Amino acid sequence: MKNRSFKVLLAGQALADAGDVFYIVALITSVYNVTNSLFYVSLVPVINMLGGFTGGFLAPLIIDRYKLKKILFNSQLIKTCFLLMLTLYVSLLLLSQDTIVTIYIIIFLITFLDSFSNPASSALIPQLVSEENLLKANSLMSSIHQFIQMGGWAAGGILAAFLHANGLLMLTFSLYVSSTCLLAFVKVKEKKPPVERSVKESKMTSMFEGWRIIAEDKRLRVLHLTLIFSSIASPVWVSSILYPFIDIRLGVGTEWWGYINTSLLLGLFLAGILAFKQSDFVNKNIQNVLLLGGFMVFVMTLLFGVNVNPILSLLLIGIYGLFEELRMISIHSIIQSLVREKLLAKVYAVQSSLIMATFGISTLMMGILGQRYSIVVVFIVASISLCFSFINLITSRKSLTLSIDRSSKNFENQL
């Protein structure tokens, strides 16, 4: 954990994550000010999802050709250039309802590049830390990412009120520049990239290699099926579902949205600290931690959805955050112990595409269910999905382990 390159990667990714949240907040503000239309605003996360899905699908072609460090650095550098263009475009008052398509194109391109950098970053972690410290490293990375994702939206809203969209974009640009500079100092020994493939079949094989790896290994199938079920349930925590739940079900003001998010954040953060401090215990009992986490997120989601007590809702969401984070840390640690180097980056690229597509479709369906039936039905459906996730884990518990079984089939970097 004293590895300098890991610390640099951690800091660089944290700054990039904060920038990713802030620039979306700034763009939502800008788009609404120009168009005064919720439809145009709603297109921002849709374009974001499309860019991530497309990039995740094409990422294996880039992963095959270049080293992971190079992919990580260059994608962040190009993102910084795109953000500079975006900042100038908004600052020079070129944004209007007629030219708003330019904003959507840049959003698409930035998220597209994220689909290269995020798998590369995750795949570099096992190369920067020893296997016994892998869970600690994942705990740190995940905790900081979750903290930024949860707190970044609130901080971005406050900063947008003081700095306005232009100032927030300039702040984001400075974060991107700092992130790019830090990532330049990540040092890792990687195998040379293979000779460029010229046959179309080879390119198609490369694009679907991550899918093949997941399909062929039972452990990876189980874990990714778990992630898919979780993605189906996760839209219940977005503001479009939580706001009416707070108003209709809990009967309190919208300020409780902030309280609930804070409680969730505390649960996530506490889980990261717990996994870091007790990494040896979690490593030895990772199957039980994963199963307990799967069971508790299912139960907490169900209880939260049928609950009408605001104070109890804070406790339930906090417990949910605690076990959700422990579950996710365990899943990533197992995946990283099974797959190495560039094949790991390809698996993460597939994972990103699967989660984004599932989350996008589920968000639409949950919205329809909430409007047609009731907000409680939405949480019941989400808890059913998480119940399937738990059943999937418990029926395959013998396959899930952190330590690599040398006698069984494990995927190594064959590129």
Say if residue 6's pLDDT is above 80.
yes
Say if residue 313's pLDDT is above 70.
yes
Q: pLDDT tens across 319-330, in order? A: 999 999 899 888
DSSP-assigned beta bridge partners for residue 339: 411
150: confidence class by pLDDT, cuts 50, 70, 90: low
Mean pLDDT across 143-161: 75
pLDDT value for 275: 87
Least Cα distance to 102 among 90, 114, 117 occurs for 90
Percent of the chain with pLDDT over 70: 90
Q: Which of residues 270 and 41 earns the better pLDDT score?
A: 270
317: confidence class by pLDDT, cuts 50, 70, 90: very high
Least Cα distance to 129 among 29, 260, 5, 234 occurs for 5
| Domains annotated on the chain, with CATH | 4-185 (1.20.1250.20), 208-399 (1.20.1250.20)
42/32 Cα distance (integer angstroms): 10
Mean pLDDT across 243-255: 84
89/137 Cα distance (integer angstroms): 39
- b/e burial code for range 86-119 (CB count within 10 A of at least 16 → b): bbebbeeeebeeeebeebbebbbbbbbbbbbbbb
Confidence (pTM): 0.81
Q: Which of residues 192 and 15 earns the better pLDDT score?
A: 15
292: confidence class by pLDDT, cuts 50, 70, 90: very high
Q: pLDDT tens across 44-65, in order? A: 778 888 888 888 888 888 888 8
pLDDT value for 360: 81
Contact call for residues 5 and 183 (beta carbons, < 8 A):
no
Mean model confidence pLDDT for the chain? 83
Q: Which two tokens stand for residue 271?
A: 């889980």
pLDDT value for 91: 77
Q: Which of residues 102 and 184 earns the better pLDDT score?
A: 184
Contact call for residues 117 and 76 (beta carbons, < 8 A):
yes
pLDDT value for 340: 73
239: confidence class by pLDDT, cuts 50, 70, 90: low
User: 407 burial class (0-12, 13-18, 19+ CB within 10 angstroms)?
Assistant: exposed
415/395 Cα distance (integer angstroms): 33
Mean pLDDT across 279-304: 91
Say if residue 414's pLDDT is above 70.
no
310: confidence class by pLDDT, cuts 50, 70, 90: very high
pLDDT value for 408: 38
Q: What angle do CA 268, 332, 300 make, to 5 degrees?
A: 40
Q: pLDDT tens across 343-375, in order? A: 888 898 888 888 888 888 888 888 888 888 888
Q: pLDDT tens across 379-407, in order? A: 999 999 999 999 999 988 777 765 444 33
Say if residue 412's pLDDT is above 50.
no
Mean pLDDT across 286-303: 93
pLDDT value for 56: 84
Report long-range pairs for 101-107 (Cβ below 8 Å, ≥24 apart): 103/27, 103/30, 103/31, 104/43, 104/44, 104/47, 106/82, 107/24, 107/27, 107/44, 107/47, 107/48, 107/51
Phi-psi group of 384: left, alpha or beta (phi > 0 → left; psi -120 to 50 → alpha; rest → beta): alpha
pLDDT value for 402: 53
Mean pLDDT across 88-95: 74
Q: pLDDT tens across 112-137, in order? A: 998 888 888 888 888 888 878 888 88
